[in-house]
Homo-oligomer: A and B are copies of this chain.
Amino acid sequence: MDEGVRNVYSHQIAAICGATAARVRRDLMVIGYTGSPIHGYAVKELIESIDLFLDSPEGQRVALVGVGNLGLALLAYFTGRRPKLSIVAAFDKDPEKVNRVVHGCRSYPLSQLREVVGQQRLEIGIITVPAGEAQTVAELLVESGVRGIVNFAPAPLQVPPHVYVEELDVTQALEKAAYFARKSRVGELKT
């Protein structure tokens, strides 16, 4: 849209986001927006439909647990990146890291998590604590009303079925890349 393009075809979208034209059309079917065979999809309306489908109009606020290196990096990264998704509270058990404002986000002691998350009705939690504490933190978040979790700790979380967990295991990702790099070198990649 910034480039002044009014209409776009599925194969153009596919090229941009690294997919196939068929997959783009399939996904847009789910969104419910219908293009025209002549002009493809109207960019402005398409964006609106996608926003309507994906975003909450009033925005969603996020809690982050674990203000270590990774937690800090995420706070910096998300500041002002997605207007509809902002990290509004950070928690840590280390008293040193607590009761400050980091990248525009207030940090609290872990003991106040239930209170803050509950009162502010935060529904999404990011876990960046060591693996051993992840499950405890997850349970705390869930009890406080969180329904979606992004878990950076290399530990599988056990949560009730109404809670969605997105696992982001950095070590695992690196190991995967290392594995396939090695296999492609030896030429043993599965055929």
Contact = CB atoms under 8 A, between A and B. Distances in A.
Contact of A73 (B72, B126, B175, B177): B72
A34 to B, nearest CB: 20
A39 interface: no
A147 to B, nearest CB: 4
A100 B150 CA distance: 33
A164 B148 contact: no
Contact of A170 (B77, B124, B178): B77
Copies in the complex: 2
A104 to B, nearest CB: 14
Interface residues of A, number: 49
Interface string A59-87: 01010000011101110111001100100
Interface string A119-154: 000011010000000000000000000111110000
A35 to B, nearest CB: 22
Given A148-B181, A178-B85, A168 B170 contact: yes
A174 interface: yes
